[in-house]
Structure 1
Amino acid sequence: MTESGFDGRVVVVTGGGRGIGRALARAYAETGATVVVSARTKDELDEVVDGIRSKGGRALAVVADAMEREAAREPVRTAVREFGRVDVLVNNVGAALGADQNPFTCADAAVEDTVTLCLLSAWWISREALPHMREQGYGRILNIGSGAAKMSGAPIGYTTAKHGLVGLTKELAAQVGWAGITVNCLCPGWVRTGLADFDRLAEQYGMPAEEIEARARAESVQGHILEPEELCAMALLLTSEHGGRRITGQVVSVDGGWKI
C-alpha cells in the first residue's frame, strides 16, 4: 500500500448496501483497495459493486445475514478465499430493531436482537478476521459507533450495544496490538441514512418531520446533519497503514460537535 492509498489491500465493509457503508466501500475502492461489501439485500449490494466496477475499481458482493453467527463471518471467509487476505474490517452493520424499545413495554426480543445486530455481529466477524491479521502481522478493525456509544438518548438496545462496541474496541485493541493490529471506533452524530429518516421518525413520534430535524440540528454546535461521505476521511485515516499505525483503542467522533 502506498502512503496515499490502499493499493494491494483487501477491505471488508459490512452493512455496505446503503448509507455509511456504501460511502465507505466507494471511498476505499477509489483509493485502490479491493472491497468485499456485505449486506442482506442483494439488489443494493449489486448497485454498489456495479458502481465501483464502472469506475475501474475492484469489488465483490457477499449477501450475508449479520444476525446469524456463521453467516456473519462469511464476508471475511470470502475475502480470504477469493483474495488470500483481509487487511481492513469495517464493522458498520447496525440498527435499532423493533418499533417499541420502551423498557416498561417492549418485548425482550427487540433489545436482544438489536444487541445481536450491533454488537455480537461485530465480535463474530472480528473473531474470524483476527487470525488472518495475526498471520500477516497487519490489520485494521474499525467499528462504526454512534453518539449513543457515549451517552443516552437512543432506543435502549441500541444505546446498550453501541456502548458495548466501545468496550469491544478498547479490549480488542489492548489484546491484539502486539500483532500489528489496530482497533478503533468511529462515532458519527446525525447522518442522513435510514436511521435518520425524519419522515419515519415523524410518524413514529407523532411530530412534524421539520420539527424533528430542527431538534437534531440543534444538538450539534454546527447545526449540521452529516452526509455519509463526510465520515470517509477519518475512516481512511484510522485504517491506513502509516497514518493509522499509532492510533488504536480510540473512540473518535465526526459529528459536527454533537452534544458537546
Structure 2
Amino acid sequence: MTARFTGRTVLVTGGGTGIGRAIALAFAREGARVVVAGRRPEPLQETVSLVEAEGGEATAVTADVSRSEDVEALVGQTVARYGGLDVAVNNVGTFIPPTKLADIPEDHWDTLMATNLTGLWLSMKHEIGHMRANGGGAIVNISSNLGAHKRLPGLSAYAASKAAASALTRGAALDHIGDGVRINAVSPGPVETPMSSRPGESAEDKAERMGREVPAGRAGTPEEIAAAVLYLASDEAGYAVGTELVLDGGITA
C-alpha cells in the first residue's frame, strides 16, 4: 500500500461495475477521494459502499456522458463536494451485437458513437475545462485493443469507435499538455467482466476459449487494468503524454 493519491480527487465514469469499479477501489486504497459516475444509481452506490467498507471516501453521481449538460453537472458536483478535480478516468463504453457493417441498424451505430466517442469527447471537454483553469491534472481514457490495434469480423463499428477514441486521446494530449493536463490511455483486451463473455457462455467455456485465443492463456483481471491506470495517473508517469498502454495478454504483440 502507498498513498500516491492522498488529498486528490478522482472522477471515474463507468464506475459502477467491472473495470470502473476496480479502478475506483484502487484509487481509494491509495488515499484518493473518489467520485463514481454512470447511468444506473444502484451499482454506483454499491461501489461507494465497497469503498467505504475499506475506510475510503466516495460519492456516486448519476450521469449520462453522451449528454453535455450531464457531464458539466458531474464535474461541477465533483468540484463542489471535494474542492477540485485532480484525476479523471473516462471508462466510457458500450457494445452492440456483432453485426456485419452493411447490416448495422443506424440507431445501433448512433448509440455506439454517442457513448464511445462523443461521450469521451464531452467528458474530456468539461474535465479539461476545469483542470486547465486550476493548475492542471491527469486524464486516463479506457479504450480497447480492438480498434487501432486489432479488428474482428462483425465488430467493425465498435473497432471504429475505439480507434477514434485512441486518436482523440493522442490529439487531446498534444492540445493540452501545455495547459498542464496530461492525457493517456489504457487499452485492454479481454478482461474477466461480462462484456468479454459470449451469450450463454459458461465460466468454464470462457476460460477454455481464453486459453486458446490469448497468448497469456487467460483473460486479464480488472485489478490489472486498474494498476496501469493508477500508474499513468501518478506523478511517476509525468513524462507519459499521449501514451496508450495495450494490456491484452499478447494478442496484438
Q: TM over 0.5, yes or no?
A: yes
In structure 2, C-alpha distance between the alignment counterparts of 1:201 and 1:131, rounded to whole Å: 43
Q: For the residues of structure 2 that align with 1:17 and 1:195, how far apart are their CA atoms? A: 14
How much has 1:212 moved relative to structure 2?
5.7
- The residue identity in structure 2 corresponding to 1:44 is P
Tell me, in whole angstroms, the C-alpha distance in 2 between the residues paired with 1:201 and 1:119.
29
Q: In 2, are the aligned partners of 1:112 and 1:157 still within 8 Å (CA)? A: no
Match of 1:125 in 2: 123
Distance (Å, rounded) in 1 between the aligned partners of 2:98 and 2:69: 28
Following the alignment from structure 2 to structure 1, what is the Cα–Cα distance between the partners of residues 239 and 67?
33
User: For 2:200 and 2:165, how far apart are their aligned partners in 1?
Assistant: 25
Q: Following superposition of structure 1 onto structure 2, how do residues 96-175 of structure 1 map, counting pairs within 5 Å?
A: 96-97=95-96, 99=97, 101-149=99-147, 150-153=149-152, 155-175=155-175
Gaps of 5+ in 1: 203-207
1:224 aligns with 2:218: yes
1:96–1:157 CA contact under 8 A, matched in 2 = no
1:234 alignment counterpart: 228
Could you tell me how far 1:4 is from its partner in structure 2?
4.2
Tell me, yes or no, if structure 1 residue 95 matches structure 2 residue 71. no
Tell me the distance in 1 between the aligned counterparts of 2:87 and 2:200: 33
Does 1:256 pair with 2:253? Answer: no
Aligned residues of 1:96 and 1:155 also touching (Cα < 8 A): no
How far residue 11 of structure 1 moved from its aligned partner, in angstroms, is: 0.5
**Equivalenced residues, count:** 250
Structure-1 residue corresponding to 2:55: 56
Contact 2:3-2:31 within 8 A present in 1 as well: no
Counterpart Cα distance in 1 of 2:98 and 2:236: 42
Mapping 1:209-220, distance limit 5 Å: 213-220=207-214
1:66–1:201 CA distance, 2 compared to 1 (3 A): farther
Determine helix, strand or coil for the equivalent of 1:104: helix
Shift in Å at residue 174 of structure 1? Answer: 0.5
CA distance in 2, matches of 1:109, 1:122: 19
The separation in 1 between residues aligned to 2:240 and 2:72, in whole angstroms, is 25
- Kept in 2, the 8 Å contact 1:192–1:227? The answer is yes
Q: Report the secondary structure of 2:26's partner residue.
A: helix
Q: How far, CA to CA, are the matches of 1:54 and 1:215 in structure 2?
A: 35
Q: What TM-score comes out, normalization by structure 2 length?
A: 0.92
Comparing 56-65 with 152-161, greater Cα deviation is found at 152-161
The aligned residue for residue 194 of structure 2 is 194
User: 2:82 aligns to what?
Assistant: 83
Evaluate the alpha carbon distance shift between residue 209 and residue 55 of structure 1 in structure 2; reply closer, same or farther with a 3 A threshold: closer
Partner of 2:9: 10
SS of residue in 2 equivalent to 1:243: helix
1:69–1:135: structure 2 CA closer, same or farther, 3 Å change rule? closer
Q: Classify 1:237/1:116 alpha carbon distance in 2 versus 1 (closer, same or farther; 3 Å).
A: same
- Maintained 8 Å contact 2:38/2:62: yes
In 1, the alpha carbon distance for the partners of 2:107 and 2:98 equals 10
Which residue type is aligned with residue 177 of structure 1?
A: I
The structural deviation recorded for 1:245 is 0.8
What whole-Å deviation, never above 9, does each CA across 1:108-130 have from its counterpart, x for those lacking one?
A: 11112111111111110111111
Please, what is the CA RMSD of the aligned residues? Answer: 1.9
Q: What secondary structure does 2:146 align onto?
A: helix
TM-score by length of 1: 0.90
Counterpart contact for 1:184–1:250, Cα < 8 Å: yes
CA distance in structure 2 between the partners assigned to 1:237 and 1:106 by the alignment: 37
* C-alpha deviation, 1:163, in angstroms: 0.2
Amino acid at match of 1:135: A
TM-fit CA distance, 1:103: 1.5
Structure 2 runs not aligned, ≥5 long? none
Q: Where has structure 1 moved over 4 Å in runs of 4 or more?
A: 208-213
